[in-house]
Homo-oligomer: A and B are copies of this chain.
Amino acid sequence: MEIEFEKSGGLVPAIVQDEVSGEVLMLGFMSAESLALTQQSGEVVFFSRSRKKLWKKGESSGHVLQVREIRVDCDADALLIRVTPVGPGVCHEGYRSCFFRAVDSKGAATVTAQRTFAPELVYKEILPKGKP
């Protein structure tokens, strides 16, 4: 089947979910090339919108995402990647999931998770604002 990359300017959102716990870990974007590399290597490769290049998840931290299953939605413009995450977390802020805050109806955010690692010990470079 064809994934509808062109409908969204060449990139489709890819949800990453822990296959065992069901926890949603992060959302990235994939180009056709990054999807092909993900399928070939068995580890998740995104396309970074901010850096405009391929981004192997875990390339600096070692926290790679081993692919167990790739699902596609009804209109073929979103992916669900079910994974085994390697390491204590996927978020560059030190959490297991990037979705570590809840927002209330007034827009206030509350951290709802515990840190699982110290990002300054894992990432050697100073990170720009936003995703590494």
Contact = CB atoms under 8 A, between A and B. Distances in A.
A93 to B, nearest CB: 5
A109 B76 CA distance: 10
- Between A74, A93, A108, the greatest number of chain B beta carbons within 10 A of the residue's beta carbon is seen for A74
A39 interface: yes
Given A15-B27, A27-B15, A109 B1 contact: yes
- Copies of chain A in the complex: 2
Contacts of A2: 107
Interface residues of A, number: 41
Contact of A24 (B1, B17, B92): B17
Interface string A66-85: 00011111110010100000
Contacts of A69: 102
A94 B39 CA distance: 28
A58 interface: no
A30 B95 CA distance: 25
A131 interface: yes
A5 interface: no
A54 interface: no
